[in-house]
Each structure stands twice: as C-alpha cells, then as structure tokens.
Amino acid sequence: MNLRESLRISWRSIRSHKLRSTLTTLGVILGVAAVITFMVLGGGFTESVVGDIEADQEPVMTVHTQTEPAEGVGIVPVDTPIYTESDVEALEERADVAYVAPEGELDVVQTATDDEQVTGVIDTQATSADRFEHEEFVEGEPFDGEDEAVVNDRTSQLFEENLSVGDEVTLTFQNGDETTVTVAGIIEAELGEQTPPQLFVPVEPYYTTTIETPDGDEERAYPALQVGAEGLDSVDPAQDEVVDYLEDESHAAELKQEDDEILVQTLEDAIEQFTDIVDQLTVFIGAVAAIALVVGSIGIANIMIVSVTERTREIGIMKAVGATRRDIMQLFLVESVILGLIGAAVGVAVGLGFGYLGVALLEWPMAYPIDWILVAIVVGVGVGVVSGLYPAWRGARVDPIEALRHE
C-alpha cells in the first residue's frame, strides 16, 4: 500500500467521525494555542520595551558592582562605595570618555515644600551636572550651584501642586540636618511608572562618604558611576577603555570583595539582559501551557485504540487481500499524524488570533514567533507519531482469521 492510498483511507476515516476527530485534536489545539499566545505576548512586550529604550538610545554606560547570592540564582547589586575620586579622574582622561558622573545615595528622610511634606519615598542622589547630558527636560535645566536640585516628573507629581522650576524644597536628613534647594529642572522618568521618584543634588557639599584607598589616602568614594562616551560610535571603545582601567589599575579593583564583580553596562547590554529574562519567563510559562499537549497525545492514543477495535474486521479483510503488517501500521500512523498536524495547524491559528487580540489591547507591537510556529508543527507531528505507535502496532498484530470472525 503506497502512502497516497494510506492518506486517502485515513482521511476518509477521520471525516466519517467528525465529532470524535474534533474532540481528539482539541487537546493539541489548546496546548499549541496556549504556547503560541504566550510567545506572541512575550515577544510583543519585549519589542515594546526595547523599542522605547532604543528610541532614546544614548552614548551612556553605567558602572556598578554586583555579586552572586549565597543561595539560589540571579545577581545581587552591591552598594558599597569603591569608586574613588582618583578613579573618576583617571576615567575622565580616557580618549573616548566625554564625562564621568559619580552617583551616591543620600539619607534624606523627608522632602517638604511650604505646604506639604513627603516622607521616605523619594530616591535622593548626589551626582554631577554631567549626569543630565542626555536627559529629556520637561522644564528647566541642570543645576548650576549647591543650592539647586533636579527632580524627575514622578517626584513633581507627588505633591498636590506639582513642583515647578523655581520652587523651593527643604530636605531633612537622617541626622536631623536640613537644607533648602531650588528646583532648577524637571526631567522625564526614564521608564515611566516603573521609575521611582528621584531628586538629584550636586556632590558638593552633600555627599561626604569617604574611604581609605589602597594608597593609604582618604578619598570620597561612590557606589556607582555613569560614564558618557563622545558619541554612539565611541560607546564600544569607551566601554573597553573603562573595563581595562577598572579591572587592572583602579582602586575599585582592590577595594571590591572577592566574590563581587564590577559591571560596565551599556544600553545594548541592558537590553540583552532584559530580553534574556523575559525570554526565560516566557518559555517557562509556555512550558506550563504545553502540558495540554500531553493531554492531547493521550486523547489521540485513546481514540486510535478505539479505532483499531472498531475496524478489526476491516483489518482482517485488508490482510486477506494481501496487506502486510507494515501497511496496517502505516495506515494508523498516518491517521494519527494527520490528527496531530491538524491540531497543530489550528492551534497556531488560534494562538496567533488570541495573541493579536492581546497585543492590540495592550498596545504592543505584533511579534510573530516563527521559530515557535515551526516547533508547534513539528510537535504536532511528533505527538501524532508517538500517540499512534502502540495502536498501529496493535492493529498490525491482529490475526486475520480472528478479525474476519469479528462482528
């Protein structure tokens, strides 16, 4: 029996039991559709975030320290101040480096205007005016004196009457000291609602954390730096220069703990790290959804066994007229593969449909997971083969004489 004849007979059997065939493929349809839907949503979310970031691409990199957790997986940021003033000055001398802006947290416990106080929710940092070289200002400009500050729009919105340029803000520190600064500028929050309220003041005179350097001197030190390159074409060379210095010549290399790692991260590095995290999460969720495929394979196996039982007499007739065991196995395998392939194809269509509706409602771009569509088709065929092997083998072993007596 050739393959074409097996296809014709198998398709006739499937069409003669439409409801049963539909219910059989339902498990495969649901499993594939769930996987494709999650892949579309994951891809749309990634493209949405990455697109927003790349649209504002800047020749900037961040320098910070991280370590591996004592237990579990992942990374843990380290806030220990190890980047000294000497390191900052040395980095500023690199050919492709335009500026180095230190960043240090301040222990501000309350931020107040004349009419309102906000306690404990504003991330207050000391930095330099270079930090705002590539920032988008909603209003005003970078600070130009120790009595000025820059806030992001999330901070401005914390107050009943939004902060504006020229407003005075009183900062209360943990030790009880107070200082009043004037808002010089308001910047956009980098990641919208995901960015915390922030307030920036000059390093002088607010940041006073010092450490003893490996040379025995006492210097101001910071937990993180922002480094600006001369241009987008200079980002990679600047990154190499910064990495080489920090790993081989810097105070930070000697001050960091043995298990800590100095990380010089560009925008592309951040995007890649973010994409990897989202991809891992998407695959995990998709794997959970794929459990329905197991149910689908059991359904196909079950219905094929029923089909073998129902067609025992037909098998006996086929063997009586010369059909071999291989022909019988081929017949039932082809039928199960067709069911799996139909389930995969319909599941892909349904998954793309639900995925499109999801990204449309969330206003994300549509991402077609071509790789996963191909995987779904291969899985559908595989499910059909695996589910049909035992029923096909069972059908091939039917004794033709006993089969002809079967009613």
Range 70-86 average pLDDT: 75
Q: What share of the chain is helix, strand, coil (3-state, %, to 5)?
A: 55, 20, 25
pLDDT in tens, 287-346: 776 676 677 677 777 777 777 667 667 777 777 777 777 877 787 788 888 888 888 889
Name the strand (E) or helix (H) holding 200.
strand 198-202
- When mean pLDDT is compared over 2-16, 243-257, 297-311, the highest value belongs to 243-257
Q: Are residues 12 and 94 in the same domain?
A: no
Q: Would 199 be classed as within a structural domain?
A: yes
| Confidence grade of residue 150 (pLDDT, cut at 50, 70, 90) | very high
Identify the pLDDT of residue 182.
Answer: 96
- For residue 72, what are its two tokens? 């579990």
Identify the three-state secondary structure at position 321. coil
Q: Would 272 be classed as within a structural domain?
A: no
Q: Would 274 be classed as within a structural domain?
A: no
Q: Are residues 210 and 346 in the same domain?
A: no
Q: Are residues 204 and 311 in the same domain?
A: no
Distance CA 222, CA 106 (A): 11
Range 191-207 average pLDDT: 85
Strand-by-strand arrangement of the 83-84 sheet: 83-84, 218-222, 210-212
Average pLDDT, the chain: 83
End residue of a domain, out of 232, 265, 298: 265
- 128-133 long-range contacts, Cβ below 8 Å, gap at least 24? 128/99, 128/101, 128/102, 128/202, 128/203, 129/202, 130/99, 130/100, 130/101, 130/226, 130/228, 131/101, 131/103, 131/200, 131/226, 132/185, 132/187, 132/200, 133/60, 133/98, 133/99, 133/228
Identify the pLDDT of residue 305.
Answer: 73
Q: Are residues 46 and 67 in the same domain?
A: no
With CA atoms as reference, report the closest residue to 182 among 243, 113, 254.
113
Identify the pLDDT of residue 73.
Answer: 47
End residue of a domain, out of 197, 232, 265: 265
Q: Are residues 163 and 201 in the same domain?
A: yes
Q: Would 232 be classed as within a structural domain?
A: yes
Written as one letter, the residue type at 211 is: I
| Confidence grade of residue 275 (pLDDT, cut at 50, 70, 90) | confident
- Which ranges in 227-266 belong to alpha helices (H)? 235-248, 251-255
Report phi then psi at 195, rounded to 5: -85, 130
Q: Are residues 178 and 121 in the same domain?
A: yes
Identify the three-state secondary structure at position 151. strand
Q: Would 256 be classed as within a structural domain?
A: yes
Domain count, the chain: 2
Q: Are residues 252 and 318 in the same domain?
A: no
Query: How many CB atoms are located within 10 Å of the residue 176 CB?
Result: 7
**Tokens 């996963």, residue?**
372
Decide if pLDDT at 90 tops 90: yes
With CA atoms as reference, report the closest residue to 35 among 240, 285, 365, 234.
285
Q: Are residues 73 and 202 in the same domain?
A: yes
pLDDT: is 243 or 11 the higher one?
A: 243
Q: Would 13 be classed as within a structural domain?
A: yes
Identify the pLDDT of residue 402.
Answer: 64
Q: Are residues 308 and 400 in the same domain?
A: yes
Decide if pLDDT at 395 tops 80: no
Q: Are residues 17 and 126 in the same domain?
A: no
- pTM to 2 decimal places: 0.61
Q: Would 369 be classed as within a structural domain?
A: yes
Identify the three-state secondary structure at position 269. helix
Judging by DSSP bridges, how do beta strands 148-152 and 178-187 pair with one another?
Answer: parallel
End residue of a domain, out of 241, 265, 289: 265
Q: Are residues 17 and 124 in the same domain?
A: no
Distance CA 38, CA 27 (A): 17
Q: Are residues 45 and 69 in the same domain?
A: no
Q: Give the domain extent around 334.
A: 3-51+279-405
Q: Would 197 be classed as within a structural domain?
A: yes
